[in-house]
Structure 1
Amino acid sequence: MSLIVLAGSVQARVDTVLKARGLNLRKYGALHHVVATPGISFSELARRFEITVQSMHTLLAALIAAGLLESTIPHPGDAAELVVTEAGRALLRELDGEISAIDDGLFGASAPLEWQQLGDAVTAVAIAATRAAGS
Structure 2
Amino acid sequence: MSQDGVDLDKSLAYLLKEASSALRAAMEEVLRPLGMNVTHYACLELLAQRPGLSNSELARGAFVTRQTMNVLLQALEREGDVTRPAEAPVGKVLPTRLTPRGRRRLEKASAAVRSVEVRMLSGLTEPEQAAAFQILQSMIHSLRG
TM exceeding 0.5: yes
Question: Are the structure 2 counterparts of residues 89 and 48 from structure 1 closer, same or farther at C-alpha, using a change threshold of 3 Å?
Answer: same
Give the counterpart of 2:113 among 99, 104, 118: 99
Aligned 1:56-135 pairs, distance under 5 A: 56-73=69-86, 79-108=93-122, 111-113=123-125, 117=128, 119-124=129-134, 125-126=136-137
Q: Give the SS at the match of 1:72.
A: coil
Question: Are the structure 2 counterparts of residues 59 and 90 from structure 1 closer, same or farther at C-alpha, using a change threshold of 3 Å?
Answer: same
Structure having greater relative contact order (Cα 8 Å, sep ≥ 6)? 2
- 4+ long deviations beyond 6 Å: 74-77
Instruction: Return the letter of the residue paired with 1:123.
Output: F
Give the counterpart of 2:45 among 10, 32, 37: 32
> Matched residue pairs, number?
129
Greater Rg, structure 1 or structure 2? 2
Contact 2:31 2:112 in 1 (8 A): no
Instruction: Return the letter of the residue paired with 2:58.
Output: L
Instruction: Return the letter of the residue paired with 2:59.
Output: A
Instruction: Return the letter of the residue paired with 1:46.
Output: A
* Structure 2 portions without partners, runs of 5+: 1-13
Match of 2:36 in 1: 23
Partners of 1:92 and 1:67 in 2: how far apart? 13
- Computed over aligned residues only, the root mean square deviation of the Cα atoms, in angstroms, reads 3.2
- The alignment's TM-score, normalised by the length of structure 2, stands at 0.69
* Structure 1 portions without partners, runs of 5+: none
Instruction: Return the letter of the residue paired with 1:15.
Output: E
Partners of 2:139 and 2:85 in 1: how far apart? 35
Contact 1:69 1:88 in 2 (8 A): yes
Q: Give the SS at the match of 2:84.
A: strand
Percent identity (aligned): 24
Q: Give the SS at the match of 1:101.
A: helix
Give the counterpart of 1:13 among 26, 30, 33: 26
